[in-house]
A and B are shown apart, each in its own frame.
Chain A
Amino acid sequence: MPDLTASLARTLNPKVVVVVGDKRMNGYMWLRNMQNFTGQVYSVQVDPNEIPGIEEMGIKNFTSLADVPGDIDYVLCAVPRQISPRIIADCAARGVGGVALFTSGFAETGEEEGATLQAELGNIARDASLALIGPNCMGVYNAKLGVRQSGEQPTGEAGPVGFISQSGTHAINFSLTGAAQGVRISTSISMGNAEVLDVPDYVDYLAEDDDTKVIAMYVEGTKDGRRLIESLQRATAKKPVVIWKGGVTEAGARATASHTASLATSTAIWDAVVKQAGAIATVSLDDTVDVLKALLLCKPAAGRRMGLMAMTGGQSVVITDAFERAGQQVPRLTESSYAKLAEFFNIIGGSYQNPLDMGGTIGFGGQSDHLQRLLDILEEDANVDAITMELASGFMARRWKADPSSLDSMLDLLVKHKERSTKPFLTTLHPGHVEEIAAQARAKVIERELPVFHSFERAARALSLATDYWLQET
């Protein structure tokens, strides 16, 4: 009999998927989620009212799992909870790799009936080394193979982020919000009540997965904290791990208990666990996406000293505040940099102490030779470990709209800089009053794999958290 680890690997990389109990009422969402699946999809449904709709989609339906031909790697099960033990037993009997149980009404209800039923499912699965995911979950997402938790999730190429989520909503939201900002998923698991497989099992899998360059997770609690720490320590020796912990406040902890039946624990101890494991703690969806951007799109920083580039005096002050508050430093540049800057920097309405108040000098993006010189000076400056540049939509939107190629050529110049540079290079693009133009501009930045953040503060925090990771003692 295979072990659970092997069963999980098979489940997450399936060739044959079966959806059990999909319904018209849900818009046959599970079968639709598999529309881009590279392998074979079958349906199991006994209700004669549901079957025609399934067959109309061109999917072969069976009335029993036993009738499905060949090996089955992954079953997505959406049957009522009373029936679920029978389906799990069928999966065990068929030698299925794993099953994700969308069905809810188990331990998360806090009632004995649900808890007993969940334990029953667990026993059947464990005895058969069946990788039971959930119950009360949204299943798995493998971008490369086209196995999805939501029909909106992109498919095709594998992204670099492996994601584990105790909440189905966060699993899906993260994959969509991240993808919109260029942070894409390799494999994502919505783990639900984690009856058989818990956070450490998924961490171990993603640590070994070649497509996964960074592991991120939304977690509220775990059954075995010591196993979790050990798995995190193994993972962080190979790749960065970002932990977004839900349920940190008193009120949050109560919500946790009713959500996924996990034990609440104090913020202090979770913080300690994250540090002890060498992982990175984040506090929200945006925070998580931001730090992943920094980890994936920046070269590792050797220190915290910033070279900052803003368009105006007021922004120069505020960008400095943002980075210093986040624990970064904004030092004076070297004398040699000042000598070079003095040759061409427009000090009428500008200054170059660091930050570089450079709007006039670079013609608000129009004078690319000056922008190039500024980047080169900061790149060579021994007092600078990382560079952040403001893309000021407020000033530049009109030009970008009138002449989109002006933005393209500036971004291409930045891409060339980033490729040459040994230092992290970040950009910020605030939507301001031109949200639509900013969104179009942002898409161009993202397309070029330049890290772009919605505000100075978010850029500063993301870089600071990533730098904690890059500089930590090993």
Chain B
Amino acid sequence: MAATIRQKPRTTFRLPPRVTVVSPLTLIRHLDKMRQLMAKDSGSSGIIDQARSEGRSVLSEVEAKALLASAGIPVIEAKLATTADEAASIADDIGFPVALKIVSEQITHKSDVGGVVLNVEDTDAVRAAFGEIIKAGKKADAKAQIDGVSVQRMAEPGVEVITGMTMDPQFGPVLMFGLGGVLVEVLKDVAFRVVPITRRDARQMIHEIQGFPILEGHRGAEPSDIAALEALLVQLSEFIEAHPDVAELDLNPVFAYPKGAVAVDARIVLSEPS
């Protein structure tokens, strides 16, 4: 039988270039960079350790975002305020408008109970919103432990996408990508890949979904930054590999822009301690 099968070339790997000559200045810069990276690392393990030591497996939005940001993943960082004044001062630092969200392990559907106030324009409004959110939280669940309110920059609206990770019993961590909102909920228009993924896998995931034309710029809208989404998926895959304690992860929504993409909300659940 004449077998005429195309043989695919083997994948080749390039070794990182070797540094041969290092000036003292370069060395100092390198050491600085390493110190920064190490500081970030200790920060990330610190967040997980802290949650573990408190017997928690669900990270708060503030913690999840800090952990992701420390790995270089673009998120709208959130800061925790425990008083109205603190919230106002954080908002003043970040710049207006801001979003305020309740921080409580027991309250997962924050906006359903009035735990989210968006587009807050000045410090007085921040103080007022802080009070409303705490009151709403207590009303929704009298027993809930409320840690405070997160304060974050209002993200510019973009194309809503969702990405996340779940554990498959046969394949371990799998990454998901889809368009946000009704497309993910009703049509289940999502693509999966098993971690770790390559840039090619990321590109295929994005192209695979039915709603891909929306990212290409539907009806004259500017196209979304596909390369930034690809990079985000690869970074998430690396993050998951580096953090085996993470059992579940949701970035929902991520806003995709003509230039860049950013996770607006983040949820991380740790595995049950063995």
* A251 in contact (CB, < 8 A): no
A225 near B172: Cβ-Cβ < 8 Å: yes
B2 near A269: Cβ-Cβ < 8 Å: no
- Which A residues lie within 8 Å of B192 (CB)? 268-269, 271-272
**Alpha-carbon gap, A297 to B4, bound state (A):** 7
Task: For the complex formed, measure the closest distance between the CB of A163 and the CB atoms of chain B, giving whole angstroms.
Answer: 16
Chain A residue at smallest Cβ distance from B166: A269
* A62 in contact (CB, < 8 A): no
- Interface bits A240-256 vs B (CB < 8 Å: 1, else 0): 10000000000000000
Interface SS majority for chain B: loop
- Which B residues lie within 8 Å of A213 (CB)? 3, 5
- Which A residues lie within 8 Å of B204 (CB)? 275
- Which B residues lie within 8 Å of A284 (CB)? none
* A26 in contact (CB, < 8 A): no
| In the complex, number of A-B residue pairs with CB atoms less than 8 Å apart | 84
Chain B residue at smallest Cβ distance from A295: B5
* A32 in contact (CB, < 8 A): no
- Which A residues lie within 8 Å of B9 (CB)? 237, 474
A237 near B5: Cβ-Cβ < 8 Å: no
A160 near B169: Cβ-Cβ < 8 Å: no
A296 near B191: Cβ-Cβ < 8 Å: no
Assuming the contacts A272-B194, A296-B3, asked whether A237 and B11 have C-beta atoms less than 8 A apart, the reply is yes
A273 near B171: Cβ-Cβ < 8 Å: yes
Task: For the complex formed, measure the closest distance between the CB of B3 and the CB atoms of chain A, giving whole angstroms.
Answer: 4
Greatest chain A CB density within 10 A among B5, B6, B190 is at: B5
Assuming the contacts A240-B5, A449-B2, asked whether A276 and B172 have C-beta atoms less than 8 A apart, the reply is no
B171 near A449: Cβ-Cβ < 8 Å: no
A470 near B6: Cβ-Cβ < 8 Å: yes
* A21 in contact (CB, < 8 A): no
Between A and B, 29 residue pairs with Cβ closer than 8 Å are A160-B3, A182-B1, A184-B1, A214-B3, A221-B170, A222-B170, A224-B170, A225-B168, A225-B171, A226-B172, A226-B194, A229-B171, A236-B8, A237-B9, A239-B5, A263-B170, A268-B192, A269-B170, A269-B174, A269-B194, A272-B192, A273-B171, A276-B194, A276-B197, A278-B8, A297-B4, A300-B5, A470-B6, A474-B11
Minimum-distance CB pairs A-B, first 10: A225-B171, A225-B170, A272-B192, A213-B3, A300-B6, A265-B170, A299-B4, A474-B8, A272-B193, A237-B10
Residue ranges of A at the interface with B (Cβ–Cβ < 8 Å): 159-160, 182, 184, 213-214, 221-226, 229, 236-240, 263, 265-266, 268-269, 271-273, 275-276, 278, 295-300, 449, 470, 473-474
